[in-house]
Amino acid sequence: MADSLPVLVVGSIVLDSIRSPYGESKAALGGSAYYFAAAASFYANVRMVACVGEDFPDEGRHFLEKRGVDVEGFVTMPGKTFAYEAEYGDDPNHRVSLRTCLNVFEKFHPVLPPLYRSTPVVFLGNIHPALQMEVLDQVDSPEHVAADTMNFWISRSREDLERLLRRVDTLFLNDSEAKELTGEKNLIRAIRRVCEFGPSTVVLKKGEHGAVLYRENTLSVVPAYPLEIVRDPTGGGDTFAGGVMGYLARAGSFDRKTFQEAMLHGTAAASFVVEEFGPKRLMQVTSERLEERLRTLRAMIAIG
């Protein structure tokens, strides 16, 4: 950890209420920044920029602190925490958003603590692209900037998003986001079109079908960890991004080979989240358990 590059994350911190064929959760800890930090903190020192309301449970902040996450930029504001409700049917890759109440995030304008301004690796987690930009504007010449987004922002804040993408090196997104952003139905064409917006690297998250990396004009794939039961896919993408970016920061390298290895780490981390509602399982997981899943993944892709 001492040798790893620090990672700055901005994103949502949310109380999630999720229904799936396996049950439901009510006001569980969640949000892009929370899931990201829970995974990235296995590998690197994470600095967090986010806000919550007065109703946010202490357990959430304590967990981040226990994991060594720097929470100087994590503020409590008067009002309620971002609340989100969604539902899954039989297809875990398809989520229907039922309610998105930004609450304190509507008024949040982060001021980065001085130490955060020189962070070399930046992850702009899913939140309003104008807010992602506000954070990026306060960082001095980052080495690598990655971002994630969601249909909600692609349809409502496209101009802000396009402005942001010009300054992003790596974009994480799923099939439907790639199609909506580019207007392409074919995913390979969509990936190439994403690069016309600015990013040189695209990570396409395909849920139970794994993930695709496009880097240095080359496509590579990783499978998903084989799970028989996926209770709640929420946060899987952010946890995956946390594992990927955390590993890259620890390696201090962003070349294609390191990215491929990083994708295995992201996949292993995400596999724990989706097995249970909310981040419970990820919050308890040990490095040994992560390593076991990495071994399984490596065995799955060993050919010959």
Give the binding site for ligand AMP (CB under 6 A).
12, 14, 16, 30-32, 84, 100, 126-127, 150, 152, 234-238
Least Å from the CB of residue 100 to ligand AMP: 5
The vertex-162 CA angle with 161 and 165, nearest 5°, equals 85
Structure tokens that stand for 101 in this block? 């109440």
Beta carbons of 46 and 113 less than 8 angstroms apart? no
Q: For residues 121 and 270, which CB has a smaller minimum distance to ligand AMP in the complex?
A: 270
Q: Which is nearer to ligand AMP, 5 or 108 (CB)?
A: 108
Which CB sits closer to ligand AMP, 5 or 275?
A: 275
Residue ranges of E strands in 31-169: 46-52, 70-76, 82-88, 95-101, 121-124, 144-148
Q: What angle do CA 253, 255, 258 make, to 5 degrees?
A: 70
Indicate the residue among 5 and 129 with the shorter CB distance to ligand AMP: 129
Shortest approach of ligand AMP to residue 13 CB, angstroms? 9
CB burial of 213-231 (b: ≥16 within 10 Å; e: otherwise) equals bbbeeeeeebebbeeeebb
Tokens representing 203 are: 């990570």
Q: What's the min distance (Å) between Cβ of 240 and ligand AMP?
A: 7
- Minimum distance, C-beta of residue 29 to ligand AMP, in the bound complex (Å): 8
In DSSP terms, 9 is beta-bridged to: 48, 123
DSSP symbols for 47-72: EEEEEE-TTS-HHHHHHHHHTT-EEE
Pairing of strands 144-148, 170-174: parallel
Q: How far is the CB of 255 from ligand AMP (least distance, A)?
A: 26
Q: Which C-beta is closer to ligand AMP: that of 6 or that of 279?
A: 279
Instruction: Name which of 5 and 131 has its Cβ closer to ligand AMP.
Output: 131
Minimal distance in Å, beta carbon 174 to ligand AMP?
7
